Structure 1
């Protein structure tokens, strides 16, 4: 089995903190999720997460107008420069202080960074004339503010920018040294200036403050009676021409402005957002709410159609189309720790259960949440799929086990015990008829019928609380583990134990049954994984994982991680589909992959490098230790904040779960609560503190033999077509992506050769070929319907397995063809119904004509046979000496009918097709 798994996506969380970004075309949205950045394609409904990590959570980020460079900066001011197209990290840089805002100039040549009270302008990294890469070259530092700078806005011509600050002012600066006199201070607000914007013609400046005030500034001449202290007439300057106020029940937290359409969008601390149109007056267009939590950031795409909002308290992300008043994207992750996960049998969906009592279904391909079940009223402890994947079972601490229908998305069955107990594990029989559950409040294993919902039996024998249950995939053998340090094997239908109880030396934390039900893996508290034979309870393998686990240190620890025994065990294990590999993880920062036969670790995955979470650091940083021996990061400095709302402390010391996440004072700890292999073995998922992490084998790099050939031109493709090298011509045309060349090559392939060409098409070109055929049929209304359907049939018959394994990549192409086929089928049926009597008349006329032709042919053949008979008799009389064999041959030859008298196959082609044509 392959072990080259790499991080591919992060689900379960869509937004943590920071600002949101739209790409220049407005179809993709960038969202910071912890110390990573996710990208959501709003058109194709897909998402991916960049593979790089910051040392702490992302504070702000910026994307240049050309969509080539992305810079993201964390809480400590450490920046990562990324090539947005190739997703390759170009450079790391440290601004050595907290950065509140960063923005590229519209021309893409400069980068403005708000570092503390200063604004630093850097030249955008570029290639110089001598082809040497100069990552960061500082242009100038702008000062003048007395408190932290909050935001930066550029003018359209990239000559000026405005900075807003906590000192209740905004300042305008120029990049040119000759325009130093342009610098002005916009004062008059009574609270923080949240943001400032230029109008489209750059003649007007708008400033928005935290108390809900909007000031309009224009560069005008002073009134005639306005004089200075010397009595001279004052010069032209920026002056306030109008004031407007947003009356809301909360503080204004964020604002953005679209200059082309004069749209102003503001978000408040009570979850309300408003859309205004700024003209001569301030006109309110819409006012909506996305909840009761603070809206931390807002952005608008380049076309002014879509608005993006982010709320960090519950991790909400919302993309709203204000013109149609509809949601483009509405996602929210778990606001509490995930406890369990499970793959669907086809590997297309992931289900997670959390401490918040919610069950979420995630689409693996798109990364979006499809459905959320809220029936449970307490933390969800485990989720399991039935074998066919249409029913989901979940156990919870609310004392119920629920069954959900994933076709109608409803809870259709609820299982309870005879007494009120909290279920911490559940297992489903492979047949889907029986479900079992265990609890730490009882020593029994409860068995229910899925069809009736009745409690069938309770399996007794354990002398301690039940910790975990597991079924195999081949038969109804159940494995159960308990606090009594035993593992028991049950035959669920005979209601007895198949072997003697397996005694283990330590507490069992997790068990896993091999898919063929022949082996059982047991993870214990002493850090070992033991593998037993199910039939005779004999130990086969023993893996010591303590030396393989990377357990980081916490901030309050005064020792390095290698001297810590915290988390030196595995709390969750999972078998691969072939049963040869085992995944193990626990309350630590590592995921270990083991080869069971050789008892060797194949690979170790580091879960996170985020230093904002306990358990990721390895060494003790003595620089942060104060004289009293306390880590400086543990000192609460909220009392030094200038805002009253930031100084108030509503947290509960030591609280880790339950209630409002903002009311917990403890730092999150890195851990892996559940892990599972995909049924296709091409990926596996881990439920971690950072979210639902997907690791997969990179299958995007498909070898294309034509990459070795440089001379690929339209002329060479047509030349290959003339030489009847149809496969080479087709692949050259697909590589060129020239529509007319592909069209010409497809229609030039002879009908008998289509099957041979389709068999040898490389897999990398299958989706492009199907998509081109679909567009050709739907958009260009090609008359060669049957010809292209033969192409589609040959491609599907030759590469059906590959397409089924990658059905999400071929989803758009297959939908295009399906839509066309349904349309054509309706047209054919309607034409057939309208011409029913005409078809009957034509088919009847054809039958009569064929019958007349048959009669004429038979009469001609009879006269010819009579003449032949007379000549044969005469020849017989003249030649008496011929032997008997020759006479027999002549007689057989004489009895053969004339081929000209028989009706041809084409004559009967339409005789019996009347009913068939009418049915079509």
Structure 2
């Protein structure tokens, strides 16, 4: 069993807090998701999460003008310098104070960073390995309160700042003779934005209270009002002699216009300005955003996209796409304002993700959350493409039907619902005679029966999927039913309960129940091995028990409490090593081949065990984010105060906005609370599932849906290697046209580039003979190679010929060893279905294009003779 699984993507969390930025080409959006960064490719419709983590939640991002350097800063001011193309961390740096804003200069030479009331300008680090790549250029004082906004002039010689002291200031990067800066005062609230116009003759400033000021430089003679309007300081000064005396001509910044957004007392939260097109985009606390064209202050659009404030706004380089982020909803939108259409609209679960399930081909993942939503995710793109909102309470279990495009979900609202993934509708709702709360769900492999367990009446309800009628009510448990699962080989239902038993039910037969399997503690989760002969059950004492289903006796036990223990909460009295009480696995699942068991629970760890030896193989830490509770192994005494741990003190009363200070929570409500969180989220895993293809696994964690893929890029994995098997010997056999021998030798060597070269040089008419004579011990490696090569190779028919001939000549062997080859065959099905979809899109596009060209040609012929050479008409059947 291979264990080189690497973190691949984070789904379910598209935006958390901070700012969002566009890449220089304007085709991708970079968004902070907790302490990670996700890049959304808007052209190819894909997303991927970068493989590094900050210590805490990221609050600011900055990307260099050439798109090569990315700087991420967390809430403590600790920064990471990243090579954006190669996704490699170059340097760690600490700004030693929370950073409100940081921006690269347009020429890429400088980086301006807010430092409380000051601004620090640093020289941009390079790509070379340096001991101290961050070199401070200058410090710029002047403000009386925290600086919250920075922007540069197009020539990178000046920059503007906006501050909480209700002023904006103009600074020069290097000293200029006669230039003393400028103070732009007059706002009545925090200046959240200040920018230069395209010709640099005008400055626009936006206040939090919804006021927009336009500033222009005017010449004045000495003797007039030298203090300037609202106390502006002179920017430049020139002396000249007039008559016998000496007078001074000065240039001062004056307000030439004042505008107000008038959004019904809504405050401005986020702003963005595109100087090339003079577009100003403003996001308000009411969830409304507006687009204005300057300097005429013409309102182009005013739309409402949510009920919560818009905390992030960005404009791409061409000024066509607008990006908005809402931290309260975890929502990210990209809107094309000219066509008034969404380019991207993604939102995760409003509360924690509670359960998940893989589709049979491993291409889709269904998740349920405490917000009552059921979401379907594509593991290839990382996007959610359908959301079902029919449930009125938290979803506790979701399951794919083994056959057909159907998803089932159970909820605390007392309903089990079936959703059609072709028409995207809820076509069946299963209820009980008396309202109950469902805690678990199971679907028969044939898809004819669905079962759900109750947490208050301790009963199991059985419905028919075809008719929707209640078939049976299974009783016998003396505690809440925690988990249900069907045997993969027989129609036997297994149920785990808090009464410390696991019971087996023959749903289709006359036997009501078999003898219960007794445990030492409450049963939390159960799972069948893919062959249906072994059942695993995790209990509240941290153990995983393995049972022989046919004999009804325990065949092994895994002591997992010491493996899952770790991480100390802020208010724990015991150390992390001794505090193993309450640590247990809440979700377990067998691997695709049945040799491994993956388990996750209320801890920051996910463990993979070897089932035959009961040994821990590998332990994955789901996150390094110290913003969550239960991450640190040791607590620092300086964080302890008389009122308790500093991290748990409620400081919402110190917030500046009234809507942030208001407490709308209900006393005693913790789960599903829509109000502000007064405690840090706890690092834990609600559910883990292995993909049926065996190449990935997913975990529903506090941060979202974590997906880990099998990394085989740099893996040297020889098989039955001998001294005479070398790359030169393989190439010599290939030149001698000994294709089968060279192919087998390349598999024994295990070097993927050599296997690929041999595979590509085999003639198509030799495939049938080679596939028939291929030894069966190389069959699994051959199929796995074809599956992975399908995704990158354009040789569609060549790959299909290999797949069909291998299945044709080795079908009986595959059927006899279906358990061992189950993951490989599912992967082959997934690859072929994806190839079919891609090819279908190309064919449809070609058909429409050729149809358009033929119609255009016919129309031109009907208009009369032209100088264009006449083409013979071609029928659509010939084109296709």
Partner of 2:287: 271
Residue 140 of structure 1 deviates from its aligned partner by 1.0
Once residues 534 and 767 of structure 1 are traced to their aligned partners in structure 2, the CA distance between those partners, rounded to angstroms, is 40
Question: 1-side partners of 2:669 and 2:581: how far apart?
Answer: 20
> Which residue is equivalent to 1:796?
800
**Change in 2 beyond 3 A, CA 1:755/1:658:** closer
Note the C-alpha offset of 1:607.
1.4
Q: 1:201 aligns with which of 177, 199, 215?
A: 199
Q: Pick from 189, 192, 198 the counterpart of residue 191 of structure 1.
A: 189
SS at match of 1:81: strand
**Bigger CA drift: 150-159 or 15-24?**
150-159
Relative to structure 1, the CA distance from residue 522 to residue 236 in structure 2 (aligned partners, 3 Å threshold; closer, same or farther) is same
- For the residue of structure 1 that corresponds to 2:307, the secondary structure is coil
Q: Which digits, 9 at most, give the CA deviation of each residue in 1:192-225, with x for residues without a partner?
A: 0001111112121111111111111122212797
In structure 1, list runs of 5 or more residues that go unmatched.
705-722, 728-748, 771-790, 831-916
Q: For 2:72, what is the secondary structure of its paired residue?
A: strand
Cα shift at 1:805: 4.7
Equivalent of residue 450 in structure 2, options 435, 443, 452: 435
Aligned equivalent of 1:165 = 163
Distance, in Å, in 1 between the alignment partners of 2:125 and 2:306 is: 41
Q: What CA distance in whole angstroms lies between the structure 2 residues aligned with 1:752 and 1:470? A: 46
Residue 29 of structure 1 and its aligned partner are, at CA, apart by 0.3
Query: How many Å separate the matches in 2 of 1:322 and 1:57?
Result: 31
Task: State how far apart, in whole Å, the 1-side matches of 2:846 and 2:306 are.
Answer: 44
Deviations along 1:513-533, whole A, 9 cap, x unmatched?
112211100101111101001
Q: 1 CA distance for matches of 2:611 and 2:671?
A: 36
Structure 1 counterpart of 2:430, from 394, 415, 419: 415
- Contact 2:790/2:831 (<8 A) preserved: no
Quote the Cα distance in structure 2 between the aligned partners of 1:676 and 1:293.
Answer: 34
Select the residue among 548, 555, 560 that pairs with 1:533: 548
Per the alignment, residue 844 of structure 2 pairs with: 819
Q: 1:828 to 1:12 in 2, by over 3 A?
A: closer
Decide which structure has the larger Cα Rg and report it: 1
Assess, with a 3 A threshold, how the Cα gap between structure 1 residues 206 and 823 changes in structure 2: closer, same or farther: closer
**1:579 and 2:594 equivalent?**
yes
| Structure with the bigger percentage of helix | 1
Distance (Å, rounded) in 2 between the aligned partners of 1:820 and 1:753: 31
Asked if the contact 2:562/2:580 (under 8 Å) is kept, the reply is: no
Quickly say closer, same or farther: Cα 1:553–1:811, change in 2 above 3 A: farther
Going from structure 1 to structure 2, the CA distance change for 1:638 and 1:751 (only over 3 Å counts) comes to closer
Aligned twin of 1:861? none
- Structure 2 counterpart of 1:632: 646
- 1:566-645 to structure 2, matched below 5 A, reads 566-626=581-641, 628=642, 630-645=644-659
The verdict on how the C-alpha distance between 1:242 and 1:82 changes in structure 2, with shifts beyond 3 A counting, is same
- The alpha carbon displacement at 1:35 in A equals 1.1
- Aligned counterparts, 1:315-326, within 5 A: 315-326=330-341
Residue 338 of structure 1 contacts residue 687 of structure 1 at CA under 8 Å; is this kept in 2? yes
**Alignment correspondent of 1:868:** none
Q: Check whether the contact 2:222–2:247 (CA below 8 A) recurs between aligned residues.
A: no
Tell me, in whole angstroms, the C-alpha distance in 1 between the residues paired with 2:770 and 2:194: 59
Aligned residue pairs, count: 770
Secondary structure in 2 matching 1:561 = coil
SS at match of 1:201: coil
Q: What SS does the corresponding residue of 2:530 show, helix, strand or coil? A: coil
CA distance in structure 2 between the partners assigned to 1:62 and 1:262 by the alignment: 22
1:496 Cα offset (Å): 1.7
Further displaced range: 312-321 or 172-181: 172-181
Deviation at residue 509 of structure 1 after TM alignment: 0.7
Report the equivalent of 1:13: 13
Any residues of structure 2 matched to 1:491-890 within 5 Å, and which?
A: 491-496=506-511, 499-626=514-641, 628=642, 630-652=644-666, 655-662=669-676, 664-699=677-712, 770=794, 792-798=796-802, 805-806=830-831, 814-815=839-840, 817-819=842-844, 822=847
**Alpha-carbon contact 1:529-1:545 (below 8 Å) kept:** yes
User: For residues 340 and 647 of structure 1, do their structure 2 counterparts lie closer, same or farther at Cα, with a shift above 3 Å needed?
Assistant: closer
* Partners of 2:540 and 2:582 within 8 A in 1: no
Q: Residue 697 of structure 2: SS of its match in structure 1? A: strand
Instruction: Give the match's secondary structure for 1:9.
Output: strand
Check the 8 A contact 1:172/1:184 in 2, yes or no: yes
User: What are the Cα deviations for residues 803-860 of structure 1, in whole angstroms up to 9, with x where unaligned?
Assistant: 7554698689635642367569989999xxxxxxxxxxxxxxxxxxxxxxxxxxxxxx
Give the Cα separation in 1 of the matches to 2:850 and 2:313: 47
Query: After the TM superposition, which residues 362-441 of structure 1 pair with which residues of structure 2 at under 5 Å, given as runs?
Result: 362-441=377-456
Separation in 1 of the partners of 2:124 and 2:689? 43
Distance 1:755 1:225, change over 3 A: farther
Asked whether 1:117 is paired with 2:117, we answer yes
State the alpha-carbon separation in 1 of the partners of residues 553 and 208 from structure 2. 70
Deviation string 1:734-770 (CA, Å, 9 cap, x unpaired) is xxxxxxxxxxxxxxx9998898999999999876763
Q: In 2, distance between residues paired with 1:51 and 1:598?
A: 32
| C-alpha separation in 1, matches of 2:432 and 2:796 | 55
Q: Is the contact between residue 397 and residue 441 of structure 2 (CA under 8 Å) also seen in structure 1?
A: yes
RMSD across aligned positions (CA): 3.3
Distance 1:169 1:666, change over 3 A: same
Aligned position for 1:905 = none
What is the aligned partner in structure 2 of residue 344 from structure 1?
A: 359
1:126–1:134 Cα contact (<8 Å) kept = no
Helix, strand or coil for the counterpart of 1:496?
coil
> For residues 13 and 180 of structure 1, do their structure 2 counterparts lie closer, same or farther at Cα, with a shift above 3 Å needed?
farther
Give yes or no for contact 2:7–2:706 (8 Å, CA) kept in 1. Answer: yes
From 297, 300, 310, give the equivalent of 2:312. 297
**What's the counterpart of residue 313 of structure 1?**
328
SS, match of residue 797 in structure 1? helix
Residues 209-358 of structure 1 aligned to structure 2 (within 5 Å): 209-222=207-220, 226-228=224-226, 234-249=249-264, 250-279=266-295, 281-358=296-373
